[in-house]
Amino acid sequence: MNAPAVRVDEPLDDFIARHRAALAENEARHIVMLGLLDIAEADRTKTLRTWSLGEGGACAVLGPGRLLLGDLDEPQCAALAEAMTNETYRALVGPDETAKWFVARAEALGRRFRYVMPQRIMALTGPPRTPDAPGAARSVTAEDIERLADWLDAFVAEAVPNDPPIPDERKAAIAASGDAFFWEVEGRPVSTAAIVRETGQTAGISLVYTPPAERGRGYAGAVTAAAVEAAYARGKRAASLFTDLRNPVSNRCYEKFGFTPVCDCHAYKPVAD
């Protein structure tokens, strides 16, 4: 059997025409890749590496340091690993078994990887079931930057410790964007969540953080629901988020709020020799 052909860095418009419609058939599954394509299409100064291994979603994209896999079968993942033997990237993420297949072939070729995290993509297509928590949501403003910055640092340290810190300029942009929300009780912020990306019909929710002393009271669910409602008010019809499968409590909570599983995905980091 012939190895799948690999098109590397084809013109962006050709790549988008080949793959975006197929990826958009399941926006929640591919929301990060779709978001990167939207950014690159709008701003041609943004660097985006691409690999095509077939039609309709059989692709991979390398954004800022992270390799994202599309709907690839095992031979396509092997062919991609062979084509990327000398490429540099800080992380690899793929839905279902794609990342595992890629890593198996890449390690056979001499590269080494460390397994980082089992994740699950979840989606909500109806009204969120808001927990009965005291308080109310409000938009974060630029004046909230100090508290938000501290909570974003805590989120990264706790939820995604293998990711680089969020740059200060990015924190300031999130605070000023109107996309981040606090849940407040008697005027005191107790939890936060944000809309971190938007595609055609779907908003991606992340940066959900509650300080340890405030946990167990429904605040995270309440502020997540507020972010979802804000996305719906903008015309989105669905929301999605990533959960850590090693944290069954948070997974059960999101299911209780109305989120349902879309697929599992796996993250790896290359290990330097």
Residue 3 has pLDDT above 80, yes or no: no
In whole angstroms, give the CA distance from residue 129 to residue 142: 29
> Cβ distance 270 to 99 under 8 Å?
no
Instruction: Tally Cβ neighbours within 10 Å of residue 169.
Output: 8
228-236 average pLDDT score: 97
The pLDDT of 32-36, averaged and rounded, is 96
Question: What phi and psi, each to the nearest 5 degrees, are found at residue 226?
Answer: -65, -40
In this structure, are residues 262 and 71 in contact, taking their beta carbons and an 8 Å threshold? no
Distance CA 107, CA 27 (A): 30
Cα gap 30→65, rounded to integer Å: 17
Q: Give percent above pLDDT 90 in the chain.
A: 85
pLDDT in tens, 191-212: 999 999 999 999 999 999 999 9
Residue 261: its pLDDT value, please? 95
Q: What is the pLDDT of residue 129?
A: 87
Q: What is the pLDDT of residue 1?
A: 56
Least confident piece of the model among 134-148, 159-173, 228-242: 159-173
2 pLDDT higher than 80:
no
Alpha carbon 40 to its chain centroid, in Å, reads 17
Angstrom distance (rounded) from CA 113 to CA 91? 9
Q: What is the pLDDT of residues 101-121, one digit of tens each?
A: 999 999 999 999 999 999 999
Alpha carbon distance 149, 176 (integer Å): 12
Q: Please give the C-alpha separations between residue 233 and each of 8, 65, 121, 157, in angstroms, as whole numbers.
A: 39, 33, 22, 31
Is the alpha carbon torsion for 166, 168, 169, 171 positive or negative?
positive
pLDDT at 166: 93
Which whole-number Å values give the CA distances from 228 to 121, 203, 219, 268, in the listed order?
A: 15, 8, 14, 29
The per-residue pLDDT for range 44-57, each reduced to its tens digit, is 888 899 999 998 99
* Distance of alpha carbon 261 from alpha carbon 120, whole angstroms: 7
Burial class of residue 93 (count of CB atoms within 10 Å of its CB; 0-12, 13-18, 19+): buried
183, pLDDT greater than 90: yes
Q: Alpha carbon of 121 to those of 198, 211, 263: distances in Å?
A: 15, 24, 6
Among 272, 195, 184, residue whose Cα is nearest residue 238: 195
Placement of tokens 């599992």 in the chain: 264
Would you place residue 248 in the very low, low, confident or very high pLDDT band (cuts 50, 70, 90)? Answer: confident
Structure confidence at residue 273 (pLDDT): 58
User: Where are the alpha helices (H) located in the chain, listed in sequence order?
Assistant: 12-23, 31-42, 74-83, 98-108, 145-159, 168-177, 219-233, 248-257
pTM: 0.92
- Tell whether the model's pLDDT for residue 98 goes beyond 70: yes
